[in-house]
Amino acid sequence: MEQPLNVPYKRVMIVDDTYVDRYVAERVIKKYSFAEDIISVESALDALDYLMAGKDHPEELPELIFLDINMPEMNGFEFLEKYKELPETIKKHCIIMMLTTSLHEEDMKLALANPYVYRFLNKPLTFDRLKEITLQPEKKDPQL
Amino acid sequence: MFNKLLRRQLVKLFGDNAEKVSAELKDFLKVVSESYDHYEKDRRMLERSIEISSKEMIELNNRLKQEVEEDNKAIYQSLQESLFNLNEEQEEKKITGSDYRKLGQVAEMLKQETQKRKDAERERKKHQAHLEASQQIAHIGSWELDMPDTSTADNIKLYWSDETYRIFGFEPRSVMVTSELLFSRVHPEDLPLVREKIRKAIIESSAYELEYRLLLPDGTEKVVYEQSRLVHSRTNRANRMIGTIQDVTDRRKTREKLIKVNNEIRTLFENMQEVFFTVDMKTFELLQMSSACEKIYGYTIRDFAKNSNLWFDVILEEDKQVIYGNDATMRQGNPIVQEYRIQTKHGDIKWVESKITPTVVDGELIRIDGITSDITKRKEAEMAVRDNEQKFRSLIQNSADAILVLNADYEIVYASNSLNKITGFTPEEVLGVNVIEFGHPDEREMLLQYKQKVYSNPGVPHNIIYRRVRKDGTYIWCEGTTINLLEDDIVQGIVINFRDITQRRQYEDALKAANEDLQKTNTELDKFVYSVSHDLRAPLSSMMGVVELALTETEDGDMLTHLDMIRRSIRKLDGFIVDILEYSRNARLEVRKQQIDFHDLMRDVTENIKFMSEGLGKKKRVNVHTHISGHKEFISDKGRIAIILNNLVSNGIRYANDMADDPYVHVSVELKPEGAEIIVKDNGIGISKDKQEKVFDMFYRVSKSSVGSGLGLYLVREATAKLGGHITLDSTPGIGSSFTVRIPNLQNH
């Protein structure tokens, strides 16, 4: 019943401090061939480091970033603040999906008000949610 | 300053206040006084002239004349006798030497007699001159009428003194005096009377007195007073009439003026509201009383005259002591002023004031003169003032607030007893002190500005919160109100009332602190709930992720069933956490007004419950219909309306009736300017009557098969209440339920 998604993305990144959530996300993405490659990091700082490292090699940057909100050290929103200051090369290459358990309206509003955030998704990541993304990939242009 | 006579009259009427009469009356009285002066002058002159032309004078004159005449007669007689004797002797005898001697004696006698007569004549002339002078000075003329034997008024001889000529407007002795001459100068209107009177006097030989007018050719009118007397000769027959005529024009004029003035005074007295009275204290006879008594007492002068005790009887019993109290003073001859109440004839009570001037002779009170006036109005006004003042005093005495009254210099002239309680200062200690002195030095400027404001707005109360020093040197916070009543008749000062609000301020501060704490707690609680919900829900979503994954990776039927059981439990637990989270937020958060788009809201709601019926294991899919109509603008709290809609719709799906052909939930929203009516109607299993009241209770669940947290409808009711609306339920088991929620449009609030 659930068909592979024909690998719409080359490389995606998962930023989540919860191992189980990263594991589930990785498994689901792989299972339904959502992306060729998955970069999984356990903190926002690691994510920034990775992105900075790839600033001169855009081909190595993820096209899609699944970003959790509640994380120690640097939470999702703090990450977005830092992300804003990253070189245009990086920001042009990536789009961000919030992936969180938060049901707070304030969180959703704040996230969607950010120009780099494409969607606000609730955990867990399932086939249905991935399918949604592939069906309407251009619903919101993060660059505008 | 007034004529003595008038003064005496006035003192009689007004007592000591005679000199203090109003300016208007004074002018009037001055005229009266002058009239009195003239009158007196005239009277003195008259008295003098009468004295001069008195009976004795005339009689002396007559007697002299008579004596002279009689003496002369006697001389002639003896002379004739002597001559006769001499002739006889010459005829009969030769004249002897003794005869010549006799003759010589006679001649001597004659010579002496003649001398005597001449002297008498001189004397008479002197008197005559005196008389003429007196007549001229006194304007009194005299006349004499010789009446012959015939008793007719025709051939009478009339003699006028010089002054009489002048009175009749002639030069003395320039004309022949006749009765017709006299009558020609009499005023035509008085002529018949004068003619008749004189005729009668002559015929009856009687005396008369007469006052009549003269009209002189130059038009001058005079009033004369004529008196006549008969002079009897030795034959005892009245053959002469003498009289005086006096020009009384001025006197008459003065008298007329006086009468007029007296009439005016009388009118004045009659019209005055005061009663003037005089009582003979020996007989208690009312000597006089003005008619104003009827106005004051209702009783007439006659009533008072008949009952000499009436004035006392009408005094109220309790006020009679005033009279007793003053009696001794009055009997010592001191004027008294007393106030008391009377009951008039008509029964009303009046306040009167009576001023009495007693006349005491040899220690005995013989008469009283007094004035009684109605002072009811004045008294009422006085009492009203006193009453108000009493009210004011009692008000400020009984107040827990301290009350100060200041004079125009801002100095304390009155302090209520409560001042002591509040500040430790006794009222006596603060009298005369400028009230600013009790303020805090740091607030001096502010107090001075406040004072200025109070001054410039009379009658307007001003409020202030300031610090005030206590006697022990500590400061208290006070709240005061000041009002400038300097212009007020009763208060005539600036009134401050203040109370100690130190404690209240402490409470207020404590309350503020508590509130701030509470707000902090609230914020913390909000953060806590946020964290807890995340921390609880995050592992749940992780579990859900794993379970969903596992479900896709096995074909084993039992395994699939078990995993599904886990999935349901996780959902239920997550739903429970979400409900509690929402409850917490609803209870604590303020209503956030915003524009509500029900179309958007319903889209979100249907999105949320999209897969719900499958997850609940319902056999049939429940259809959700939405119908929105009416007014566009609707302001309310979106989050709370979402809670209401989410819970009502999800309940409708949860308790859908599997037996129904087409299970549905129908949401209709009707928007009106005043508010929204939301009806969520289903054809589900329904709720029995006895349970309908309880479904809104916290943690209440209708049956074992209930799948929710027991918080759903409780939350709906709470959220509705927060929005100022209310909810009703209409349900029939087996047929369906209908919830109606009415929420006001907060646009107008």
- CATH number for position B601: 3.30.565.10
Is B36 part of any domain? no
User: Which member of B533, B534, B549 has the closest CB to residue A28?
Assistant: B549
- A64: in domain: yes
> What is the band of A143 on the pLDDT scale with cuts at 50, 70, 90?
very low
A24: nearest CB among B534, B549, B578: B549
Cβ atoms of B681 and B737 closer than 8 Å: yes
* C-beta atoms surrounding A22 within 10 Å: 21
Same domain? B321 vs B404? no
Confidence label for B476 from pLDDT (cuts 50, 70 and 90)? very high
Element (H, E) at A22: helix A19-31
Predicted confidence (pLDDT) at residue B366 exceeds the cutoff of 60 = yes
Which of B534, B548, B639 is opposite residue A70, by nearest beta carbon?
B534
User: Do B323 and B441 belong to one domain?
Assistant: no
CA distance B533 to chain A (A): 8
- Looking at B321, B344, B374, the residue that finishes a domain is B374
Q: What is the pLDDT of residue B695?
A: 86
- Return d(Cα B432, Cα B411) in angstroms, integer: 5
Instruction: For residue B709, give how far its alpha carbon lies from the nearest alpha carbon of chain A (Å).
Output: 18
Select, from the ranges A119-128, B51-60, B517-526, the one with the highest average predicted confidence (pLDDT). A119-128
Q: Which of A2, A104, A123 sits opposite B541 (nearest CB)?
A: A123
Peptide bond into A124 cis (omega under 30): yes
Size of interface A-B (CB pairs under 8 A): 53
Kindly report the nearest CA distance between residue B507 and chain A, in angstroms: 37
Return the residue of A nearest to B611 by Cα.
A128
Within-domain flag for B542: no
Same domain for B116 and B78? yes
Q: Find the CATH number of the domain harbouring A32.
A: 3.40.50.2300
Token representation of residue B210:
């007469």
Residue B87 half-sphere exposure toward CB, CA atoms < 13 A: 6
Residue B21 domain flag: no
All residues at 6 or more sequence positions from B155 whose CB lies less than 8 Å from its CB, including other chains: B148
With 0-12 CB in 10 A as exposed, 13-18 as middle and 19+ as buried, what is B505?
Answer: middle
Cα of A124 to nearest chain B Cα, Å: 5
pLDDT over threshold 70, residue B153: no
* Whole-number Å distance between alpha carbons of B38 and B258: 10
Using an 8 Å CB-CB cutoff, list residues of chain A that contact chain B.
2, 18, 20-21, 23-25, 27-28, 31, 70, 101-105, 122-127
Residue of chain B with shortest Cα separation from A20: B542
Asked if B628 and B602 touch (Cβ cutoff 8 Å), the reply is yes
Q: Is A39 helix (H, G, I), strand (E, B) or coil?
A: strand
What residues of chain B lie within 8 A of the CB of A70, using their CB? 534, 538
In a domain, B471, yes or no: yes
pLDDT at residue number B743: 93
In B, minimum Cα distance to A3 occurs at: B552
CA distance A48 to chain B (A): 23
What is the least distance, in Å, from the CA of B504 to any CA of chain A? 40
Choose the final residue of a domain: B138, B165, B189: B138
> CA-to-CA distance for A17 and A101, rounded, in angstroms?
13
Q: Which of A71, A77, A103 to mutate to test the interface with B (most CBs of B within 10 A)?
A: A103
B349 and B278 share one domain: yes
Q: Which residue of A has its CA nearest to B550?
A: A24
Q: Show residues of chain A in contact with B581, CB under 8 Å.
A: 103
Query: A124 contacts in B (CB within 8 Å)?
Result: 541-542, 544-546, 548
Give percent of chain A with pLDDT exceeding 70.
90
**What's the number of domains chain B is made of?**
4
For residue A126, give the nearest of B542, B548, B578 by CB distance: B548
Decide if B546 touches A, using CB distance below 8 A.
yes
Mean pLDDT, range B402-421, rounded to an integer: 88
B32 in a structural domain: no
Q: Using CA atoms, how far apart are residues B96 and B745, in angstroms rounded to an integer?
A: 177
The boundaries of the domain holding residue A110 are 9-135
Mutate to test the interface with A, among B540, B547, B549 (most CBs of A within 10 A): B549
- Report how many domains make up chain A: 1
Q: Mind listing the pLDDT tens digit for each residue in B550-577?
A: 998 888 989 999 998 898 888 888 888 8
> Quick one: B346 and B436 in the same domain?
no
Is there a domain that residue A141 lies in?
Answer: no
Q: How far is A87 from chain B (nearest CA, A)?
A: 33
pLDDT band for position B201 (cuts 50, 70, 90): confident
Mean pLDDT calculated for residue range B348-368: 87
Residue A138: predicted pLDDT: 44
Closest listed residue to residue B464, CA positions, set B477, B479, B453, B476: B479
Residues of B in contact with A27 (CB under 8 A): 549
**Same domain assignment for residues B346 and B394:** no
Give the C-alpha separation, A42 to B613, whole Å: 36
CB contact, 8 Å: B538 with chain A? yes
- Pair (B321, B407) in one structural domain: no
A27/B549 CB distance under 8 A: yes
pLDDT of residue B474: 92
Q: Is residue B185 part of a domain?
A: no
Q: Do A124 and B538 touch (CB under 8 A)?
A: no
In a domain, B18, yes or no: no
Tell me if A20 and B546 make a contact (CB, 8 A cut-off). yes
pLDDT at A48 over 90: yes
- Residue B443 in domain: yes
Candidates B533, B537, B641: best to mutate against A (most CBs of A within 10 A) is B537
- The Cα–Cα gap between B519 and B527 comes to 12
* B530 contacts chain A (CB < 8 A): yes
CB pair distance less than 8 Å for B545 and A122:
no
Asked if B546 and A24 come within 8 Å (Cβ–Cβ), the reply is yes
Determine, yes or no, domain membership for A26.
Answer: yes
Looking up residue B306, the CATH number of its domain turns out to be 3.30.450.20
Band (B701; pLDDT cuts 50, 70, 90): confident
pLDDT of residue A16: 93
Q: Kindly tell me if the per-residue pLDDT of B5 is higher than 50.
A: yes
**Of B37 and B302, the one with more pLDDT:** B302
Retrieve residue B668's tokens: 């209709």
CB-count burial class (<10 Å; 0-12, 13-18, 19+) for A27 = middle
pLDDT, residue B177, reads 82
Residue A76: which pLDDT band, with cuts at 50, 70 and 90? Answer: very high
Residue B320: Cβ within 10 Å count: 13
Copy the structure tokens of residue B583: 């409850």
CA distance A51 to chain B (A): 26
Instruction: Give yes or no for B166 touching A (CB within 8 A).
Output: no
A143 within a domain of the structure (yes/no): no
CA distance A78 to chain B (A): 17
Q: What angle do CA B357, B359, B363 make, to 5 degrees?
A: 130
Answer whether B546 sits within 8 Å of A122, measured CB to CB. no
CA neighbor of B210 nearest in space, from B237, B186, B179, B232? B186
Nearest CA-CA distance, residue B549 and chain A, Å: 7
Alpha carbon of A36: minimum distance to chain B alpha carbons (Å): 19
Residues B545, A123: C-beta atoms closer than 8 Å: yes
Q: Are residues B406 and B370 in the same domain?
A: no
B284 and B349 together in one domain: yes
B629 and B684: one domain? yes
CB-CB neighbors (< 8 A) of B548 in chain A = 24, 124, 126
Q: How confident is the model at residue A92 (pLDDT cuts 50, 70, 90)?
A: confident
Calculate the average pLDDT of chain B.
Answer: 80
Q: Average of pLDDT values for B73-79?
A: 63
Does some domain include residue A56?
yes
The shortest CB-CB distance from A124 to any of B541, B578, B581 is to B541
CA distance A90 to chain B (A): 30
Among the partner residues A102, A104, A124, nearest to B545 by beta-carbon distance? A124
- Among A101, A104, A129, A132, most B C-beta atoms within 10 A, so best to mutate, is A101
Same domain, yes or no, for B407 and B362? no
DSSP B590: P
Whether B545 and A102 lie within 8 Å, measured CB to CB = no
The residue from B438, B470, B500 where one domain ends is B500
Whether pLDDT at A80 is above 90: yes
Is the model more confident about B472 or about B2? B472
Q: Which of A51-60, B117-126, B168-177, B624-633 has the lowest mean pLDDT?
A: B117-126
Find chain B residues with C-beta within 8 A of A23's C-beta.
546
Token code pair at residue B423: 């500040």
Cβ–Cβ contact B600 with A under 8 A: no
Contact map slice: B 553-592 vs A, CB within 8 A: 578, 581
- The closest CB to that of B537, out of A27, A101, A105, belongs to A101
Do B358 and B401 lie in one domain? The reply is no
B604 and chain A in contact, CB less than 8 A: no
CB contacts of A28 in chain B (<8 Å) are 545, 549
pLDDT exceeds cutoff 80 at B704: no
- Gap from B542 CA to chain A (nearest CA, Å): 6
Q: Is residue A3 part of a domain?
A: no
Q: Which has more pLDDT, B427 or B52?
A: B427
**Residue A35 forms part of a structural domain:** yes
Domain assignment of residue B332, given as a range: 272-374
